[in-house]
Structure 1
């Protein structure tokens, strides 16, 4: 897979050009403070740092590509050892580049005129970070060099046969477990006549081409009438659920063999059209073909089946069949036109999107085995016999293990094999208490089988899905919330001018279409076995703390951490997490009580790489939160007594989402406008997001105080009930400072207002110069304030609505749209 550019913050870094231009300018301005030798040394260090950062930035896209290739070869021991180290070094590089992005934002906020700020930047950043840049670059070079010697740079992504072996039409399991109903249904949809006394399925399948006769004559005669294209019935279900096994039993069923003249089985382990057609020709004729031209192969396959009613099974179709705008599938499917009526194609796939796009009939979903049947199958796998219950203790443990496997036959085989190796209770209890993803498994066991689905994902979706391992099983995901967090983590790649959150929504839908999320009663969950697989692929990156003993198992370089509420968590446990300084995500569902402030202060002081923070509750946000240069998402879910934020909070220049929905904030700090990345802000009784329309009651002092310093406001603002407001209060809105305000509507009530007061109020409500649209409604005074004279020229306005019988509008400039409604007293703007 080709990764064309680095992801997230790297693509927006712009090489820190402005930052180093400012640094160069500051050196020139402050040269009188240093000797010529010192100046030259400082200049040299700054240039070296700039070139080192640029080299690091240029290296990362290749490193992401290398990670992706390494995951295709994860089954090789040495690659598995090096991959966590490579990911860790890449994350360190990303964090370092993001730190300099913060400095550039700070320069943008503070202005580059303050050259004295360079001294602090030089001492704390240039001298302190240059060695980090060199060290990280050397680590990347070392690890990538080792992988290159192993041939990874020349790897073309694809599965070798040991990981994804070819299948055949002959079942490994001679006995069916709980699939009789499924088998009969699928046979019915394939048009196989039902035996006497066998109930036909009442489920409907959308196909007008299947017309199976139940008469004896029809069963023994080949219908020579033709159909233009072969019907396609997909069987769809997650890996290891038994799709291939069901298809094998169908192919070997006596009535199926009697009904079809020919059964063709091909395995689509990669969707190479020519290879698949060649396999189909060999299966149909028993002879290999030497043809290699696509059209010739298509004609040869058509000839091989021309006078036969046949069943072709295409097993294990992945989404590479849909590549090249589905042309791969079309080239294969077009080989089977003008076939004998009754011919059918059966496709097995783990991808609902593939099933939906190749089908001509409604897909047949295959779920796990029912509980009673699954227990019988599990006993066979673990004990070697269905009836073996001579050890009640092992039976009890086995019944406790079964619910974890969710009816998956392959999971039963995997755990059955591990349990059957040692029929002692200690061994069985150890497996019961272990996470499934921690158990050693063979290449064809359940988690390696499910991991194939993960490996096949595009790289950006891999990062998004593996991150979800930080959440506990059965967590209910919200698409919007998760998309925002993915953006904050830097997992979402920019696509032109499309908002990153919208791209994150599409990522979520892509994962839903690949069955990584399942919709259950209006919310989304991850299947338990897929969650185990997510834990497996994110072993070193994600960790969930459920109880006190888990603190001893937190990986040292963990990036994403979730703390579930538990009674046995102590303050010392929570404080110990400050040792994991590479944390990017900290989600804590536990309330801290009186110790909350101290714990949070420690975390904010030590965990300075945090990008996402979710806290259940907190008494206050400590000043140390200003250390979190990378922070983009902050949420406090429960009420907190704090009425405002400290000024240190206003240095979070990267902050994009601020959710304190249960906190009754009374005001925002005066420097709140420095949060130039803020796109969404919620507190009790107040909500703002970029592009929104904010409706404000001018008599509401609470709203007024929050609006006062929200100068990064980007959207439309409607202020009503201005008739009850005096100019001293109207000044609190500070509209002139809200330079991103685009549309403004001002409404006075129809109640009595002393003459001239409305004009004074409107004077202090002067909007920013970039305002595009202004609506005045029920304005009671006879003239407009003098700032209008500098703004409006009616000859230049594309849209003007004036509802005023006695108006005399003077010459003003610059609005794109002016609307004056029901201002019956207005006569002049002079």
Structure 2
């Protein structure tokens, strides 16, 4: 298990330790409710529960690692049976720990107000919870012991050779179907002459031989050979194409030396060079000394035009920052011009990493050619004399196979076993992942790609099996859901959503997602593979009969829209209490009975972390039961205009989307959603750590802002047309985590500007303030309960386009904003007073800009700021009698009246002086 995942669990336990300390303290303050014996008993239960959770913390990382190892041996029946059990037990442990974290947050938010958090904690968690922990521990110990007895504790994470047998240069297929164009194209890329007469080719070959006999100084040589990757998903025919290229007569004639090496998932330069030497010389290399082996291979390829085929290269070729690949390539530098390395790989990341020319992408077989190949696999013949009814069924099966030769062989083998219409119809109606397959068939072949993923990417990709085939994925939505599910691991200071985006791009580079016309999809065969590896965890309900097929401990469920689904069908899902994801494409708004479904789900499916629905009649009060919920999305218009207060109990909620819902207000306790990253409703969007825009005069948006006090990013408000009451609704001063505030009136001429600005008092922790287009004559002096320093953290102040503003003297005071670093005053045509001689009291001021303020004038003005580094005075009438700024490094002025500017100052600063 990764270190970051382990740290996550330890952090969770540490939170619970804090919770137990609080519980012990609360117990002592409530001693009057229990006798001494009862209190002592409760104290013992608390200690026992804490100890059990500590043990759970120590066990979980090893069990996650055991799951990863078990997936490498899923082809073994006994391991396959135990794998869903250990996953279920680990999920139970994770949910229990997560519930304790929820209580920790509840205590932090509410314990000072009343004693109810402790009573909730006592009633729901302490009584009997240590038995839950012990039950989970016992189950985990039992399953992990069984897996370890099977050797899972020492299983190397490498392909079983029975799953991926080695390949050779000899073609498995005598004839290659439908690849004539591809064969010709690859030969062209290899610079193999095509369609030359035998005589012409003989002359060309003789010329090449003559070149090889020249002296070293005369030979045409290269310092670097060319590398051509053939890239495509498993089973598409990369190896078969490479084999036929390797054995093509013109290829054999063109190259002096052809070497075939099967790489697989063990990219070891020493092994590969030894195999290359043995392949070319027929003699086994007995040494393991890398230098000796490299010299040996260098001698073999010297003065030769070679073709080396590296079949089935995986991501480990790029390990050690590409040094492994370099060790293999170094001995090949002495080949003649035109030498080539042909690489077959499933990974576009590998293709991009090793190629010296554009990779060649191999897609599935096309149309009639694929049909001929499929008939050969299913009937043993391409003849038209096959049973026409079976051929009709076969044509119905064909689209499932997406042109994959290996998929055609897989289904063809199954179909040839029984040439009866009912049997063929059963296969037609079955999902490919439902069919029993041999280890060399298409899904086991594709499963190798999955097995080779890092554990965090396995979780992310297998989750995608919950979506139907041909689903169009949006990177941001899927990354948010992965974050909500807990699949994304924190990585230093990087935003966790950015890490989720990186996971997505990584899966794209490994061909698990394909970009098609601007959107992302999963290849149908890869989707079948995803369903295979997640068959106990993910399920999609498409039709009525699917309700009976839902796995007992399903974690992730999607319900597609269907008129055949009624209330009773949807309520039957309440028995699947392990659900973590519920994606409902059916509207729950059509009638009262159907609308009640959501209430039951929220009451009984209490481990949900991700819920998405197209539309609801209302969000029920029971939503507060979903303590684990991180992601809530309603994608279409709904009739409700407010959220229930109980939604504020969802302390872990990160993403809340009601995109087409015209909400008019947020609950008063909405700021308790301290983990909220994103909120969207009609005309209103909140993104934590990003800008928030409030449209001028929009009452609904202002009221939505009122209780959004957890906002901690940059806020732009356009108060044009605001009334005093509307400004009060914003409750700006209580948005204590606000970082940057812009108040922009857009040159409003409203008479109540001064009153509105007085009410729009910024929070005291503000760092940056900008006032633009304000129509008042003075800026207000906001009070702070008698304290002088109203803005102790303000570093940036910008005032612009305030045409009626006449003076800033009473506002620009050092005791009012003591750590101010930057002041900018622009386009304030009527400002006449600025007490620059007091600017020295700003002990942190480094930048001062005045621009286009023509009336600004002071007879005895001086500027003495020891900390000032940058001074800009443009198109303003300010008259300074003296400038004493010892730290000044930049001075810029234009058309200003200034006196007594020291010549040395001008020399030191090298000011920009305009005409």
TM-score (norm 1): 0.94
Question: Does residue 1:485 correspond to 2:481, yes or no?
Answer: yes
**What is the CA distance between 1:12 and its match in structure 2?**
5.2
Residues 15 and 104, structure 2, Cα contact 8 Å, conserved in 1: no
More deviation in 617-626 or 129-138? 129-138
Inter-CA distance 217–598: structure 2 relative to 1 (3 Å threshold): same
Match of 2:585 in 1: 589
Q: Secondary structure at the match of 1:92?
A: helix
Counterparts of 1:801-812 in structure 2 under 5 Å?
A: 801=798, 806-809=807-810, 810=813, 811-812=815-816
Question: Does residue 1:676 correspond to 2:674, yes or no?
Answer: yes
Deviations 1:103-139 (A, max 9, x none): 1111122144634531231121111422111111111
Match of 2:138 in 1: 138
Question: Does residue 1:740 correspond to 2:744, yes or no?
Answer: no
Counterparts of 1:96-115 in structure 2 under 5 Å?
A: 96-112=96-112, 114-115=114-115
Match of 1:463 among 436, 459, 466: 459
| Separation of aligned partners in 2, 1:580 and 1:134 | 23
Counterparts of 1:281-680 in structure 2 under 5 Å?
A: 281-387=277-383, 389-592=385-588, 593-594=590-591, 595-680=593-678
More deviation in 761-770 or 586-595? 761-770
Deviations 1:186-217 (A, max 9, x none): 1222222222389xxxxxxxxxxxxx998353
Counterparts of 1:706-745 in structure 2 under 5 Å?
A: 706-722=704-720, 724-745=721-742
Q: Greater CA radius of gyration, 1 or 2?
A: 2
Question: Does residue 1:156 correspond to 2:156, yes or no?
Answer: yes
What is the Cα-based RMSD across aligned positions, in Å? 2.4
The number of residues matched between the two structures is 814
Residues 8 and 491, structure 1, Cα contact 8 Å, conserved in 2: no
More deviation in 534-543 or 174-183? 174-183
Inter-CA distance 622–115: structure 2 relative to 1 (3 Å threshold): closer
TM-score (norm 2): 0.85
**What is the CA distance between 1:31 and its match in structure 2?**
2.1
| Separation of aligned partners in 2, 1:529 and 1:721 | 55
| Separation of aligned partners in 2, 1:618 and 1:660 | 10
| Separation of aligned partners in 1, 2:791 and 2:475 | 46
Match of 1:94 in 2: 94
Residues 580 and 607, structure 1, Cα contact 8 Å, conserved in 2: yes
Residues 791 and 814, structure 1, Cα contact 8 Å, conserved in 2: no
Question: Does residue 1:692 correspond to 2:690, yes or no?
Answer: yes
Residues 684 and 701, structure 2, Cα contact 8 Å, conserved in 1: yes
| Separation of aligned partners in 1, 2:341 and 2:831 | 79
Inter-CA distance 291–486: structure 2 relative to 1 (3 Å threshold): same
Question: Does residue 1:167 correspond to 2:162, yes or no?
Answer: no
Inter-CA distance 230–635: structure 2 relative to 1 (3 Å threshold): same
Inter-CA distance 289–118: structure 2 relative to 1 (3 Å threshold): same
Counterparts of 1:118-267 in structure 2 under 5 Å?
A: 118-196=118-196, 215=204, 217-218=206-207, 223=212, 225=219, 226-267=221-262
| Separation of aligned partners in 2, 1:697 and 1:307 | 74
Residues 770 and 798, structure 2, Cα contact 8 Å, conserved in 1: no
Inter-CA distance 275–166: structure 2 relative to 1 (3 Å threshold): same
Deviations 1:17-47 (A, max 9, x none): 3211211110121223322221121111111
Match of 2:761 in 1: 766
Q: Secondary structure at the match of 1:316?
A: strand
Inter-CA distance 197–129: structure 2 relative to 1 (3 Å threshold): farther
**What is the CA distance between 1:298 and its match in structure 2?**
0.5
Q: Secondary structure at the match of 1:770?
A: coil
Question: Does residue 1:775 correspond to 2:770, yes or no?
Answer: yes
Deviations 1:384-424 (A, max 9, x none): 11115331111111111111101100001111111111111
Q: Secondary structure at the match of 2:618?
A: coil
Deviations 1:673-709 (A, max 9, x none): 1111111111011111112222324522111111111
**What is the CA distance between 1:158 and its match in structure 2?**
0.5
Residues 312 and 346, structure 1, Cα contact 8 Å, conserved in 2: yes
**What is the CA distance between 1:779 and its match in structure 2?**
4.7
Residues 771 and 799, structure 2, Cα contact 8 Å, conserved in 1: no
Q: Secondary structure at the match of 1:227?
A: coil
Deviations 1:646-690 (A, max 9, x none): 111111111111111111111111111111111111101111111
Structure 1: tracts of 5 or more residues without a match: 199-211
| Separation of aligned partners in 2, 1:9 and 1:462 | 20
**What is the CA distance between 1:549 and its match in structure 2?**
0.4
| Separation of aligned partners in 1, 2:715 and 2:793 | 24
Q: Secondary structure at the match of 1:228?
A: coil
Q: Secondary structure at the match of 1:315?
A: strand
